[in-house]
Structure 1
Amino acid sequence: NLERRGDIVEATLSGSINYPLTSNTKFSVGLIPVGYRPNRTAYIMVHMTGSINSSHIDVEPNGVCTWWGTSTNTGAPRGCQMWFTDDPLLN
Structure 2
Amino acid sequence: MNKILGLDLGTNSIGWAVVNADEVTRENNTTYLKPRGIGSAGSRIIPMSADILGDFDKGNSISQTAERTRLRMVRRLRERNLQRRERMLR
TM-score (norm 2): 0.24
Larger helix fraction of residues: 2
Q: Which has the larger radius of gyration?
A: 2
The structure showing larger relative contact order (alpha-carbon pairs under 8 Å, at least 6 residues apart) is 1
